[in-house]
Amino acid sequence: MENLSHILSADMLFMTLRLAIPIGLAAIGGTICERSGIVNLGLEGMMLMGAFGGVLGSHITGNPWLGIVFAVFIAGAMGLIHAVLCIHYRTSQTVSGVGINILAGGLTVVLTRAVWQVDGRSGAVERIPTVTIPGLSDIPALGALFTGQSPYVYLTVAIAVAAWFVFYKTKVGLRLRAIGDHPQAAAAAGVNVKRYRYAAVITSGMLCGLAGAYLSIVHSNMFINDMVAGRGFMALAANIFGGWNPIGSILASIVFAFAQAMRITLALDIPDQFIQMFPYILTLLVLIAAGRKARGPEALGRMED
Amino acid sequence: MPSIEMRGITKRFSNVVANDEVTFCVSQGEIHSLLGENGAGKSTLMKVLFGLYKQDEGEIIIDGRRVDIRSPRDAYHLGIGMVHQHFMLVNNMSVLENIILGNEQGNVVIDKQKNREIVQRLSALYNFEVDLDAKISSLSVGMKQRVEILKTLYRGAEMIIFDEPTAVLTPLESSQLLAMLTDMKKQGKTIVFITHKLGETMAVSDKVTVLRGGKLVGTLDTASTTPEELARLMVGREITFDIDKKTKQTGEVVLSVQGVKLMPNSQSTCSFDIRAGEVFGVAGVDGNGQQELEEVVMGLTGCKTGRILLNGKEISSMSVAARRKLKIGYIPSDRFKQAILPRYNLTDNYLLGNQFSDDFVKRGIVSHKFLKKRAGEQMKGFDVRFADDGQSMNSLSGGNQQKFVLSREVGKNPALIVACQPVRGLDINAIQFVRNTLLELRERNKAILLISAELSDLFQLSDRIGVLYKGDLMAVRPAEQYTNESISLLMAGREAGDADETDR
Amino acid sequence: MKRIADYLPGILYAFAAIVLAILVSSGIMLLIGNDPLLAFTALFDGAFGSVNSLANTLSMSIPLMFTGLAFSYAMKGGLFNIGGEGQLYIGAFASTVVALALQGAPAVIVMPLAILSGMLAGGLLGGFIGLIKVKLRVHEVIVAIMFNYIAMLLTSYFVNGPLLAEGSMTPQTERIPDAFLFTRILPRTQLTTALYLGLVVAVATYFFFKKTRIGYNIRAVGENPTAAKVSGVNITATTMLAMGLSGSVAALAGITEVFGKHDRFIDGFSPGFGFTGIAVAVLGNNNPFGIIATALLFGALNSGALRMSHAAGISSSMVMVVQGLVILFVATPAITRGIFKAVRVRRLAHGKP
C-alpha cells in the first residue's frame, strides 16, 4: 500500500519525466530518420555532440537558450554528415553510425579540452531555468505539473504531438511513411525521395541535439565525457519498442524511465543492473515475440536503384 | 488522327537492342493489345512511353505535338498512366492513402474528406467496389490491381498502360479485369495492354501490335485476324531440324517425376520420365511452373505431393546437398543469381556445388590442387575464355559465364542434367556451343531435362517435349509431333483439342 | 606476384582513407590552435620510440586484432556483428569464473579450459543472434545492440555483487592465480604471449576461409545466398556458425585483456573494443593480415596518445577522432575515388600523364 502511494507520488512522476525527456526526444529523432528508410545508429554520437554544443553555446554567449540553438545546430551537422554518407555516397548506414559515435566520442573530449583546458569535463555554465506557469500552477493537484518544471517538459510533449500530427495528418508525413516502406512507389508517385531523406536524417540529428542539451544544460550545467552513457542506444530501443511511431517512442521512453525512477525513489532491492537492463530485455522480447510481424519500415536500411 | 504515336523508337541496354526502330500508334478510345513473347521488347517500349526509360532514337508525338517524356511525372501530365506488373503499393498504408500519395488534396494538412469524395466518385464510376480504408496488405491481388488502376485514374490518366495485367490474376479476376477494360473504354479511356496471351487479345482488343525480338512485326485490326495468325507472327521462326541429331536408342529411366503438383492452383499433377540418352524439353511461357519444376527436382522447395526418383532411388526428401552428392548437373535459369559468386575468382566459383563432393573436399579441407587442375581442364574443354583462374567471375562475359557454369555442372559427370534457359542472353556463337554440348551429352547417354522459352532450341534438341501451362503438363509428345502453332496454343493454355485441330 | 596486385586497390583505398583522416584531424587541430605536426610526431614517438612503447603498442593492438577478426567472420557471411562488445564481456566473464573455480588445478588444464569456456560463451551468444536473424528475420544489428547492454550489465551485476573481491573498493573479481595468466614477453610491460594467440588466430582465420568447406560455405552465403542455397549450403546453420565463430573470437579479446592485463575481471574494462573492431575490420578489408596491420595501427594510435597529449597539449581522445574519421572515409570509397580522380584530372590539365 505504501509502495503504491510512492509509485503514484508526484516525485515519482517528475523523476520519470526528467529521465524520459532525453531518451524520448532522441527516440522521436530515430523514428523520423528510420521512417525515411535510413538506419541511425549514430543517435548516441549525435546526442553527445548536442550535449557538448549546448554547453559551448551557453559558455560563449552566456545565454543557455542560445546554447540550445548551438546544440541543435551542431548535432544537426552530424545528421547532415550521416545523410550525405548514406544518401549520396551510399555508405553502409551501420558503419556510418558506428563511425559517427566514435568520432563524436573523441571530438567532444578534444573540444572540451581545447575550450576549458581540462580533460574530462567542462566548466560550469548557465543552465536553462525552470518555469512556473502563472495561473495553471494554482490548479489543485495538477498545479505541480506547471510549477518549477523545466520548459523541456512542455517542449517534449509539444514535439511528440507535432511529430505525430505531421506523421499521420499531413502530406509530408504520408510521403515520409511511404518512402520508408516502398521508396520506388513513392518515387513513382512523384515524391522526391532524396530530399525527404535528407530532411529526415538532419531532423533526427537536431532532435538528438535537443536531447543532448537537456543532459548538459538543463539537467546539469556542464559537459562531462561520455555523459550520454548509452541513452542514444536506449532511444533506438525505445523507437523499436514504440513501433516506429512518435507517440509510441515517447511512451516507450516513459516506460523505460519509470523503471529507473522506481529504483531511485523506492530504493528497491533489485540490483541496479537489472533495472538498467530492463529496456533492452523488453525490446528484445518484443522483437522476438512479434517476430516477423513487428517490423520497422519495410525498406529500412536498403538503398535501391 | 492517332492520339499517341511512337516513331522509330530504338532503345539499347549496353549491347542488347531491346527496341529496334519500333513504330507504335494508338488512337483515342481504343483497346490496343501489345503482343509478343518474353523479351520481345513490349515492356521496354511502354516504359519509354511512361518516362521510365529514355529512348536512344526516335520520337514520341502526342496529339500532333512532339513531346519529351523524362519521368512518370511528365507522362501523367500528358495523361499517360501505367499499371505495373509488380505493384507499386505501400503495404502498410490504406487504399485511400496509396491512391492519393504524391497528389494529396489540401495545403499542408491532408483534406481527408475531399480526397475520399474524389476517389469514391471515381470508384463508383467504374464499379470498382474497393474498401478505401482497408490496408493494402489485406487485399487480394485482383483488388490491389484495382487500386493501381484507381491511382492512374486519380492522377487524371486518359490513356492507361497495363503491363501483363492478367499474369498474376486468377481466371475469375482476369475476366473481371477484361470487363473493366471494356468499361473504361466506354468512358472514353484509351487502353494499351501488354500480353502474350492470344485469348484475351482476341476477346477485348480493337487493335493488336505484334513485336518480335525487339522489332515491329505489324499492327492488325483484331477483327480481321485469327489466333493462329497471331501465334505465327509472335513466334515467327520456321521450325528447322538442321542440327545433326542422330536418332538413338534410349536407356534406363534416370529421372522419374511422379504426381508432383507444381503450383498451388494447378489443376492436375505432373508426371514424366526421362531416360538415359534422352533430352526432355519443357516448353511454356515464363511463370507457368518452370521455376517450380527445377526447384522441386533440385530440392530447393519441398515436394509435398508425389515423388521424384533418380535411377530408381527416391530423392524427394533429400536435402539439396545430398542431391548434389548424387551428381546432378544443374544449370539454373538465372545464373547470375543462382549459379555464381560474382566477386569471387574462377577457382572459388568452380567449387560451388562441388563442395560436398569427396573429390574436391576431403575431411572438410578443400583440395585446391585437384580443384585448380579440374577447373582448368574443364574450363579449357568448354572454351571458357579467361586470362587466369584468379580473375573474378564478373570479369567474364555473359556467354563465358554460361560456358563456365556448363563446364562445372557437366564436369562432374552427372547422370542427369537439369538445364534451365541455358541460352538466355547469349550471343549466337555461345548459343551454338551450348546446343552442341547438350547434344553431345545426349550422345554420352546422359538424361537431360531442358527447360527453355526458346521454341527453336526445344525443337532442335529435344526428343520429347512437355508443355507447361499454369503448372499443368498440357501435353507430352515427341518433338516432331508439334508444329509452331500447336505448341504456341498449348503454351497459351488452349486445350489440346483446339491445338489438334490446327495441327491438321 | 599476382596476389599482391590483387590486394593493391584495397590497400590503396585504406591508405588514402588514413591520409584523409590525418589531414582532416590536422585541420581540426589547427582550428583549435594546436600544432598537428608536433602532435603526430609525438604520437609516433610515443608508439614506436622505445622498446617499451613498442611493447605497449603491440599490447594495445591485441584486443583489436581479436575484435577485428571476429567482425570479419560475420562479415564474410554477409552479417554485421555489432555485438562484439557484449560477446567479449560474456566470454571474459565465463573464462574468469572457470579459472577462479579451478584454483589449484594444473595450469595446462585450466588455461585451455578457461579459454574454451569463454569462447563457447561468446560463441553461443553470437550463434543465438544468428538464430534470431534467420528464424525470425529480426535484423542482427538491433538484437546484437540489445545483447551488448544485457551482457555488460549482467557481468557488472556479478562483479558488483556475488563475485566482488573481498575488501575491494572497485567492482572486480578476485585475482586470477598467476599460473593461469598469459606470460609476459617483456618484463614490466603489458605485452604477453596473447600476442602470439592473436597471430595464430589470424593465420587460422586465413586458412579457415581459404581451405575449409565450412569457411567456403560462409563466404558463399555472404556473397550470394541464393547461389549458396542452390549449391546445397544450409543457410540457417551456416549463418549461426558464422555469428557463433564471430562471437567466440570476440570473446578472445575480452579473455586476453583479463588474463593478460588486468589479471581479474573488472567491471566495464572494455573501452569499446567491440566497436573499434568494426573499424579495424573495415579498414583491413576483412583480410586477416589486413586486420592485423590495422590493429597495429590503431594500437599505435592508442599507445602514442598519451605522449601526444603531453607534448601538444591536446586531449588524448584526438586519436578517437582519427579512428572515427578513418572508418567513415574507408567505408566511403567514393570520396577517395573522387579525390583520386580530381588529382588525375589536374595532372592531365598540367600535361603530365
Tell me which residue of C264, C241, C245 sits closest to C254, measured CA to CA.
C264
Q: Give the model confidence (pLDDT) of A84-106 as tens digits.
A: 999 999 998 999 999 999 999 99
Q: Considering only CB atoms, which chain C residues are within 8 Å of B351?
A: 216
How many folded domains does chain B comprise? 3
Taking CA atoms, C313 is separated from A295, C26, C38, C306, C310, in Å, by 49, 14, 10, 10, 5
Task: Kindly report the nearest CA distance between residue A108 and chain C, in angstroms.
Answer: 9
Query: What residues make up the domain containing B408?
Result: 343-413
C-alpha cell at B451: 527447360
Residues B348 and B425 in one domain: no
Separation of alpha carbons B288 and A124, rounded Å: 74
pLDDT digits (tens, 9 = 90+) for B118-144: 999 998 888 888 899 999 988 888 899
DSSP A54-82: HHHHHHHHS-HHHHHHHHHHHHHHHHHHH
Sign of CA dihedral B86, B88, B92, B94: negative
Residue B77, in any domain of the structure:
yes
Residue environment code for A85-114, b if the CB has 16+ CB neighbours within 10 A, otherwise e: bbbebebbbbbbbbbbbbbbbbbbbbbbbb
The rounded distance, in Å, linking the Cα atoms of B176 and B146 is 10
| B231 lies in the same domain as B101 | yes
pLDDT digits (tens, 9 = 90+) for A2-20: 555 655 677 788 888 889 9
pLDDT at B485 over 90: no
Predicted confidence at residue B68, as pLDDT, reads 92
Residue B26 to residue B206: CA distance in whole angstroms: 10
pLDDT at B495: 58
A253 in Cβ contact with A185 (< 8 Å): no
B49 domain residue, yes or no: yes
Q: Tell me the per-residue pLDDT of B293-328, one tens digit each, with 9 for 90 and over.
A: 999 999 998 888 889 999 989 998 899 999 988 889
Give me the residue from B300, B365, B390 closest to C230, CB to CB: B300
Q: Quick check: A298 and A183 in contact, CB under 8 A?
A: no
Domain count, chain A: 1
CA angle, C334 then C340 then C343, to 5°: 140
Of C219, C229, C232, the CB nearest to B356: C232
**pLDDT at residue A295 tops 70:** no
Contact C275 A101 (CB under 8 A): yes
Q: Report the amino acid identity of residue B157.
A: A
- Of the given ranges (A175-179, B194-198, B267-271, C107-111), which has the lowest mean pLDDT? B194-198
Q: How confident is the model at residue C352 (pLDDT cuts 50, 70, 90)?
A: very low
**B57 φ, ψ to 5°?**
-140, 165
Model confidence pLDDT, tens digit, residues B191-242: 999 987 788 888 899 999 999 888 899 999 999 988 778 877 877 654 444 5
User: What whole-number distance in Å separates Cα of residue A47 and Cα of residue A72?
Assistant: 10
Decide if C211 and B348 are in contact by the 8 Å CB cutoff: no
Question: CA B498 from chain center: how many Å?
Answer: 24
The CA distance from A85 to the nearest CA of chain B, in Å, is 24
**C230 and B319 in contact by Cβ < 8 A?**
no
Would you state the cell numbers that stand for residue B327, as one nine-digit string? 551428381
Answer yes or no: are the C-beta atoms of B287 and B495 closer than 8 Å. no
Average pLDDT of the residues in A279-285 = 86
Looking up residue C165, the CATH number of its domain turns out to be 1.10.3470
- My answer on whether B301 and B445 are in the same domain is yes
Q: Please state the rounded mean pLDDT for residues A254-267.
A: 80
* Residue among C2, C213, C226 whose CB faces B338 most closely: C226
Instruction: Assess contact for C339 and C16: CB atoms under 8 A.
Output: yes
Question: Quick check: B295 and B331 in contact, CB under 8 A?
Answer: no
Touching C (3+ Cβ pairs <8 A), the chains are A, B
* Candidate from B234-243, B260-269, C78-87, C325-334 with smallest mean pLDDT: B234-243
Asked if residue B500 belongs to a domain, the reply is yes
Residue of A nearest to B104 (CA): A171
| Averaged pLDDT, A222-231 | 92
Query: What is the band of C106 on the pLDDT scale with cuts at 50, 70, 90?
Result: very high
Distance CA B280, CA B282 (A): 7
Residues 6+ apart with CB under 8 A from C251: C87, C88, C90, C91, C92, C94, C95, C118, C119, C121, C122, C123
CA distances to A30, A203, B303, B439, C70 from C75, rounded to whole Å, are 25, 31, 34, 43, 9
A130 within some domain: no
In chain B, positions 292-311, which contact chain C (CB-CB < 8 Å)? 298, 300
Q: Is the pLDDT at A293 greater than 70, yes or no?
A: no
B109 contacts in chain A (CB < 8 Å):
169-171
B381 and B393 assigned to the same domain: yes
**Does B496 have pLDDT greater than 60?**
no
pLDDT in tens, C284-324: 989 999 999 999 999 999 999 999 999 998 999 999 999 99
Contact B102 A190 (CB under 8 A): yes
- Amino acid in position C122: G
The helix (H) or strand (E) run that includes residue A113 is helix A93-116
Of B235, B254, B283, which residue constitutes the final position of a domain?
B235
Q: What is the rounded CA–CA span in Å between residue C332 and residue A192?
A: 24
Per-residue confidence at C170, pLDDT binned at 50, 70, 90?
confident
DSSP-derived pairing of the beta strands B253-260 and B270-275: antiparallel
Q: What proportion of chain B, given as a percentage, has pLDDT over 90? A: 38
CATH number of the domain to which B135 belongs:
3.40.50.300
Return the amino acid letter for B165.
P
Whats the size of chain C, residue-wise? 353
Half-sphere exposure of residue A183: CA atoms within 13 angstroms, side-chain side: 21
| Residue A304 reports pLDDT greater than 60 | no
Q: A134-192 pLDDT, tens per residue?
A: 777 777 766 777 777 788 988 999 999 999 999 999 999 999 999 999 998 998 888 89
> Binning pLDDT at 50, 70 and 90, where does residue B501 land?
very low
What domain count does chain C have?
Answer: 1
Domain housing C205? 2-349
**Element (DSSP H or E) covering residue B195:** strand B190-195
Q: How many C-beta neighbours within 10 Å does residue A69 have?
A: 16
Same domain, B302 and B403: no
Domain of A99: which CATH number? 1.10.3470
Looking at the partner chain, which of A105, A281, A292 has a beta carbon nearest the beta carbon of C136? A292
User: Chain C within 8 Å of B358 (Cβ-Cβ)?
Assistant: no
Q: Which residue in chain C has the smallest CA separation from B323?
A: C232
- DSSP code string of B345-374: BHHHHHHTTTTTSTTTEETTEE-HHHHHHH
In the predicted model, is pLDDT for residue B373 greater than 60?
A: yes
A302 touches chain B (CB under 8 A): no
Query: Among all residues of chain C, which has the CA nearest to that of A300?
Result: C139
Partner residue facing A185 (CB), from B73, B89, B106: B89
CB proximity B361 to C under 8 Å? yes
Q: What is the DSSP string of B257-312?
A: EEEE--STT-SS-EEEEEETT-EEEEE--TTSSHHHHHHHHHTSS---SSEEEETT
Facing residue for C161 by CB, picked from A111, A114, A271: A271
C-beta atoms of B104 and A174 within 8 A:
yes
Rounded CA-CA distance B35/B198 in Å is 8
* Per-residue model confidence (pLDDT) at position B15: 64
Residue B385: pLDDT band with limits 50, 70, 90: confident
Question: Cα B125 vs. chain centroid, distance in angstroms?
Answer: 35
What pLDDT, on the 0 to 100 scale, is given for residue C11?
81
Query: Is residue B436 assigned to a domain?
Result: yes
- pLDDT beyond 90 at C224: yes
Q: Name the helix (H) or strand (E) containing B466.
A: strand B464-469
B323 CB within 8 Å of a chain C CB: yes
Report phi then psi at B208, rounded to 5.
Answer: -140, 130
Given a contact cutoff of 8 angstroms between Cβ atoms, the answer to whether B393 and B342 are in contact is yes
| Domain with A277 in it | 2-122+149-290
Q: Is B1 on the interface with C (CB under 8 A)?
A: no
pTM: 0.86
For residue B421, tell me if it sits in a domain: yes
CB-based burial label for B52 (10 Å; 0-12, 13-18, 19+):
middle
Q: Which chains touch A (3 or more CB pairs under 8 A)?
A: B, C
Distance CA A93, CA A303 (A): 9
pLDDT single digits (tens) A187-218:
888 889 999 999 999 999 999 999 999 999 99
C-chain CB neighbours of A94 within 8 Å are 80, 82, 141
Q: What is the mean pLDDT of chain B?
A: 86
- A189 contacts B101? CB cut-off 8 A: yes
In tens, the pLDDT along A54-65 reads 999 999 999 999
Is C141 within 8 Å of chain A by CB? yes
What confidence category does residue A77 fall into, taking pLDDT thresholds of 50, 70 and 90?
very high
Burial code (b: 16+ CB inside 10 Å, e: under 16) for C56-86 equals bbbbbbbbbbbbbbbbbbbbbbbbbbbbbbb
Residues B26 and B81 in one domain: yes
C205, pLDDT greater than 60: yes
Q: What is the ipTM for the molecules in this complex? A: 0.90
- Average predicted confidence (pLDDT) for chain C: 91
Q: Based on the number of CB atoms within 10 Å of its own CB, is A141 exposed (0-12), middle (13-18) or buried (19 or more)?
A: exposed
Q: What pLDDT is recorded for position C351?
A: 52
**DSSP, residue by residue, B46-63:** HHHHTTSS--SEEEEEET
State the Cα–Cα distance between residues C322 and A36, nearest whole angstrom.
Answer: 30
Say if residues B234 and B35 touch (Cβ distance below 8 Å). yes
pLDDT at B1 over 80: no
C278 CB near a chain A CB, below 8 Å? yes
Contact in structure between A164 and A246 (CB atoms under 8 Å):
yes
| Residue written as grid cell 585541420 | C27
Same domain membership, residue B279 and residue B159: no
Contact B88/A178, CB-based, under 8 Å?
Answer: no
Nearest CA in chain A to B89: A185
Q: What is the pLDDT of residue A224?
A: 95
**Position C29 pLDDT exceeds 90:** yes
* Sequence-ordered alpha helix ranges (H) in chain C: 2-31, 36-48, 51-76, 84-101, 107-136, 140-160, 194-211, 213-223, 225-230, 235-257, 273-283, 288-312, 318-330, 333-349
pLDDT of C4 strictly over 60: no
Q: Which three cell numbers stand for residue B55?
A: 529512348
Q: Is residue B303 part of a domain?
A: yes
Cα C204 from Cα C217, distance rounded (Å): 16
B93 to A172: CB separation less than 8 angstroms, yes or no? no
Chain A partners within 8 Å of C323 (Cβ) = 102, 106
Give the residue from B372, B387, B413 where a domain finishes.
B413
| pLDDT-derived band at C2, boundaries 50, 70, 90 | very low
Q: What is the pLDDT of residue C165?
A: 82
Distance CA A200, CA A208 (A): 12
Coil, helix or strand at residue A122:
coil
Q: Cα separations (Å) of B386 from B343, B360, B380, B405, C3? A: 15, 22, 9, 14, 17
Distance of CA B359 to the CA centre of its chain: 37
What's the mean pLDDT when you consider all of chain A? Answer: 88
